[in-house]
Structure 1
């Protein structure tokens, strides 16, 4: 078994990591870290568990450590990071310099030139950027990122459609409140309401998408040429980001052509990888968050409502934002790192 740790284990995404790693066939959770205020407490005491499954007994009495390289045993093979971005920016490089491999959900460093931003089914070859990273930074460890929760919902569908010559993308998101964390949006703000702004979200989608769809040259990632624009909205659903996507392509595929391309999107032989990657609905009113966010145990992307417009294509896509869009994405990246010998 591969010994792993979870950084920021007591927060919403950290708890999802712990849930997903419970009973994992390859990973054994041996280290849990949090803020200094929680260090020394049992995980049961520190976490204030909020998920709909019981806290895993294997880790409930584990003593929480401070998030510090000196607190993490040298024989820990892989660290999953659910740290806030400001903490991640400070701590993750220290961990990598100390020799640890970090699969991180934190938003810091996603677009750094030498940091792989990876969706395994889309751009697994970008992991080779680790060699560049180690040469430039002198690290024995490595830092790998998964993208923003809204980006990861859309990009697998764009990768499938790219065979038709992806030119321009506009997306309007309807993002669940869990994407802001447990205390992120007050009930008075979101009930009977939609908030048509999520700070920094549009820029993340517009930049991360082009990096993920780009080509690794052996020295750097050349971003995809497609123009991506986003409008991001917070809506009163608990989990599951729904997105309305408008695409212009070189070719003129029919809705049936697009449905076939989405359904044929490749999957991988990894424990957390869904099969199929994209579940395609014929019904015009699917996918829906309440009905479809747990497709593929929350790791699949659902798509439907495919139609042509005067300017190209329109369709809807959906993914579970704290599973595929956060902790599950990092776990899958960790599985890819293990399978390709980077640990």
Structure 2
């Protein structure tokens, strides 16, 4: 079965990554590209300043970009991927879902709404059941599913493995986040070269709330958020791609480095095209993972963990993921695959 898909916000950084991920996909066929009114009517080649590290797909380059409006997207598009700015997505995405479109969105709006699935398929695929609640409560014919923030998605799979094995009580995280997480124009060279910025607006709150929802239990009607306390400090550093994070996880049960490493390695992946065979790779070397060396593990969809150390109350570790692939475009595509697998498309 080939699913016709569209990308909302196709000319931006995440939109370009989405096209890179979708163009060779075995199940998805690009059928619609949207952008602002300034780009509507132009070919994609003209509208997008292509910056991804592979050539612009030839069959996409000449596609005409349309306005981000439900009336402009063909009715036979089965699935939409949204990479819109949250301020735009908050207004536009409900209009598409009301019109009957199923949407996998990377935008931050609605992520913590009670009836909106926030999913990492390997961690909480069952949360997709919120779609039925969403349709009943909002009267939507389509469906809206979110993937989490790029920094949240880096630490949650390792935390899920540890929570399952030992129980989590408290989590503290300090991030070292790549500049691509801010978009192409988000941080100027004069700000970040020879520098580190110890604040990323809104990022701490996203990590502290989204992680607890992702690790929560779905009872068929609502998600009961995980009880662990989460505190985050987010920092921008001059790497291009790959968010590195230092995590302190306090556990309910005693944990050793050996038992934690086994739990992380054995944490299962999921049988979807974009999910790696091994979700979490554990390094024994204390100086790994590193962004430049490890961000492209499993085509950018893997999670790397290293620096495991026992603490008085649990475990300390470092984790890394490619922020624009696993943390954004790839996460949205994976959610699209889950929607297809579960029969919502």
| TM-score grouping bracket, smaller chain normalisation | over 0.9
Partner of 1:336: 338
Partner of 2:136: 135
CA distance in 2, matches of 1:296, 1:253: 28
CA distance in 2, matches of 1:254, 1:7: 46
1:217 CA displacement: 1.1
1:117 CA displacement: 0.1
Partner of 2:15: 14
1:218 CA displacement: 1.1
1:18 CA displacement: 0.4
Match runs of 1:105-144 below 5 Å:
105-144=106-145
Partner of 2:43: 42
Partner-residue secondary structure (3-state), 1:3: strand
From 300, 304, 307, the equivalent of 2:306 is 304
Partner of 1:94: 95
1:185 CA displacement: 0.2
1:205 CA displacement: 0.2
Does 188-197 or 303-312 show the bigger shift? Answer: 303-312
Partner of 1:205: 207
Gaps spanning 5+ residues in structure 2: where? none
Q: Tell whether 2:172 aligns with 1:170.
A: yes
- Deviations 1:57-104, CA, capped at 9 Å, x for gaps: 111100000000000111100000000001100010000000000100
Kindly tell me the number of residue pairs found equivalent between the two proteins: 343
Partner of 1:263: 265
Q: TM-score, normalised to structure 2's length? A: 0.99
CA distance in 1, matches of 2:177, 2:209: 18
CA distance in 1, matches of 2:308, 2:258: 8
Partner-residue secondary structure (3-state), 2:323: coil
CA-atom RMSD in angstroms: 0.5
Q: TM-score, normalised to structure 1's length? A: 0.99
- Deviations 1:265-304, CA, capped at 9 Å, x for gaps: 1111111001100011110000000000001100010001
CA distance in 2, matches of 1:178, 1:127: 29
Partner of 1:192: 194
Partner of 2:65: 64
1:311 CA displacement: 3.1
Partner-residue secondary structure (3-state), 2:90: helix
1:252 CA displacement: 1.1
Q: Tell whether 2:33 aligns with 1:32.
A: yes
Partner of 1:158: 159
- Deviations 1:312-336, CA, capped at 9 Å, x for gaps: 2100000000000000000000000
CA distance in 1, matches of 2:177, 2:152: 11
Partner of 1:280: 282
1:160 CA displacement: 0.2
CA distance in 1, matches of 2:52, 2:227: 40
